[in-house]
């Protein structure tokens, strides 16, 4: 993933100590560099101390931002002193970037409260936010009203905001691939393409017959097939898997990869049963797992809105995401459950993994036609979850996000599975059932639920419930 870049506005108000702007700008830019952010900001030769106060300075800063619009993922407003609220608001309005905005204010020190050193950023931040509300500009806040840029708290705020920026920027114009029709028995994964398109999300479709036809034209010894066959072998233990099944997986990977690249798609959702097994003789799980592990999420059962949740988690965390079923209770613990799929989880989600067969549908289509699942235990540790859906009645995108932890509790089962502990799980399950959400949920092994909620509710205008967030 590319580096996240922020445009920086250093607010200033002339009759407050302006030397604080020079020091503050240097301090903030230094922290941004240490945290791995790219920066677009006025320099001290462009305006006094590289700050913004007057309309002329606002126009100069806005022009700089417009010139770098394709690089800027978000904007940071920092107030080393009270700052000029009009200058900040005018800069944001004139730039017109429509990216997330974070408002930061420096703290005063009790020992430095003279006319020469008192900041009053505490008060100035309130005025800036008042003006942004008047201007209709959405913005985010640091957890503490004033916070030192070098503090651990502000560094965490920056990482959180970076995730918000990536989710907003990534979801605004994302293109997804639907490979095949949804399984007839799964009304649960229905969705509205029109609602998605109205939110900037496009869906490209391809029929499985086209996929199978393109595979048929590939020679078993073609370079692209042998290359992907080697990647499959390197990716997961394939002991006991017939060579013919592995070659089919390699061909499927070659066709899907080419189609995804040609259409500039960031994620996919696949008809994984039962046409694939009956007509091709494999399951696509390993191919999908490999895509997700490369940060190109791939969802089961043509669950397009599930794929959006996966992609959002990947954007926020920079790590692979998986799609799981809310599948079983775990004994009589009300805050634990089993999350499971057959499975196509990315390899990095597992404590251990090998290629196997799809036990559930093997009895129907023939177990010999179901090689290609990635099975094992999900590794313990924290995770975030997300579910998005098109609410066709309300005409909007709705969802929920939250966090939990995969445990190392005993679990003897098949597929890809783990025991999850989530605070007030029963309340969450009631919410899911009452609002009619799907049984699928996307997860990533990182704590990013708060960033997802901020991005989706505050900037994308979706209706997303934060469970415990």
Q: Where are the domains of the chain?
A: 5-172, 175-467
How far is the CA of 51 from the CAs of 71, 80, 119, 197, 246, in angstroms?
21, 10, 15, 39, 60
* Strand, coil or helix: 18: coil
Contact (CB, 8 A) for 316 and 1? no
Model confidence at 1, pLDDT cuts 50, 70, 90, reads confident
0.85 surpassed by pTM: yes
pLDDT tens digit sequence for 162-197: 999 999 999 999 999 999 999 999 999 999 999 999
Q: Report the C-alpha gap between 439 and 189 in whole angstroms.
A: 9
Given this model, what pLDDT does residue 14 score?
A: 82
Q: How far apart are CA 101 and CA 107, in angstroms?
A: 20
d(CA 282, CA 300): 15
Pairing mode, strands 74-79 and 5-10: parallel
Whether 5-172 and 175-467 share one fold: the answer is no
Q: Is residue 433 very low, low, confident or very high in pLDDT (cuts 50, 70, 90)?
A: very high
**In this structure, which topology does domain 5-172 adopt according to CATH?**
Rossmann fold (3.40.50)
In this predicted structure, the answer to whether residue 299 has a pLDDT above a threshold of 90 is: yes
- Token output for 168: 């907003």
- In the DSSP assignment, the letter for residue 188 is G
Neighbours of 447 (CB within 10 A): 17
Q: Which residues pair with 389 in a beta bridge?
A: 398
Cis link prior to 274 (omega < 30° from 0)? Answer: yes
The secondary element (H helix, E strand) that includes residue 268 is strand 267-270
Closest C-alpha among 338, 360, 209, 225 to residue 287? 225
Tokens representing 210 are 């086209």
Q: Which phi-psi region, left, alpha or beta, contains residue 58 (left: φ > 0; alpha: ψ -120 to 50)?
A: alpha
**Beta bridge partners of residue 179, listed in sequence order:** 206, 270
Q: Mind listing the pLDDT tens digit for each residue in 137-161?
A: 999 999 999 999 999 999 999 999 9
Q: Which residues pair with 397 in a beta bridge?
A: 390
Residue 231 is predicted with a pLDDT of 98
Peptide linkage before 184 cis (omega within 30 of 0): no
Measured in whole angstroms, the distance separating CA 352 from the mean position of its chain's CA atoms is: 25
- Residue 382 CB coordination number (10 Å): 11
Arithmetic mean of pLDDT over the chain = 97
Contact by Cβ (8 Å): 330, 337: yes
194-221 confidence digits (pLDDT tens): 999 999 999 999 999 999 999 999 999 9
pLDDT digits (tens, 9 = 90+) for 344-378: 999 999 999 999 999 999 999 999 999 999 999 99
Residue 234, pLDDT > 90, answer yes
The CATH number given to 175-467 is 3.40.275.10
């Amino acid at each position: 993933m590319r580096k996240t870049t922020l445009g920086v506005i250093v607010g200033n108000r002339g009759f407050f100590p302006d030397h604080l702007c020079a020091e503050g700008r240097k301090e903030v830019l230094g922290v941004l560099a240490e945290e791995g952010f790219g920066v677009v900001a006025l320099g001290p030769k462009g305006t006094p101390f590289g700050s913004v106060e007057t309309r002329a300075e606002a126009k100069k800063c806005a022009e700089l931002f417009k010139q770098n619009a394709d690089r800027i993922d978000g904007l940071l407003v920092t107030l080393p002193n009270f700052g000029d609220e009009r200058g900040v608001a005018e800069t944001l309005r004139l730039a017109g970037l429509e990216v997330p905005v974070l408002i930061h204010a420096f703290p005063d020190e009790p020992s430095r409260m003279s006319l020469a050193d008192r900041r009053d950023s505490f008060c100035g931040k309130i005025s800036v936010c008042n003006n942004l509300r008047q201007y209709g500009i959405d913005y985010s806040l640091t957890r503490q009203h004033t916070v030192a840029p070098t503090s651990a708290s502000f560094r965490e705020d920056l990482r959180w905001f970076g995730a918000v920026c990536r989710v907003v920027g990534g979801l605004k114009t994302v293109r997804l691939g639907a490979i095949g029709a949804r399984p007839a028995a799964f009304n649960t994964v229905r969705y509205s393409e029109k609602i998605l398109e109205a939110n900037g999300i496009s869906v490209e479709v391809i029929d499985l017959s086209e996929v199978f036809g393109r595979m048929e034209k590939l020679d078993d010894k073609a370079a692209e097939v042998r290359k992907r066959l080697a990647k499959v072998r390197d990716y997961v233990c394939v002991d006991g898997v017939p060579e013919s099944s592995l070659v089919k997986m390699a061909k499927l990977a070659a066709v899907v990869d080419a189609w995804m690249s040609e259409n500039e798609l960031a994620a996919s959702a696949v008809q994984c049963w039962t046409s694939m097994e009956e007509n091709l003789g494999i399951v696509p799980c390993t191919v999908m797992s490999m895509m997700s592990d490369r940060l190109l999420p791939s969802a089961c059962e043509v669950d397009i809105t599930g794929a959006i949740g996966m992609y959002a988690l990947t954007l926020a965390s920079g790590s692979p995401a998986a799609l799981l079923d809310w599948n079983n209770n775990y004994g009589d613990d009300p805050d634990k459950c089993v999350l499971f799929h057959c499975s196509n989880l990315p390899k990095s989600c597992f404590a251990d993994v090998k290629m196997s067969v799809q036990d559930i549908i093997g009895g129907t289509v023939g177990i010999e036609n179901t090689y290609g699942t990635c099975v094992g235990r999900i590794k313990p540790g924290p995770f975030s979850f997300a579910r998005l859906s098109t609410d066709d009645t309300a005409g909007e995108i709705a969802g929920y996000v939250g966090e939990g932890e995969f445990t190392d509790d005993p679990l003897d089962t098949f597929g890809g599975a783990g025991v999850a502990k989530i605070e007030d799980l029963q309340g969450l399950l009631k919410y899911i059932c009452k609002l009619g959400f799907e049984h699928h949920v996307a997860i990533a092994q990182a704590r990013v639920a708060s960033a997802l909620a901020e991005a989706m509710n505050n900037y994308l205008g979706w209706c997303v419930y934060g469970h415990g967030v």
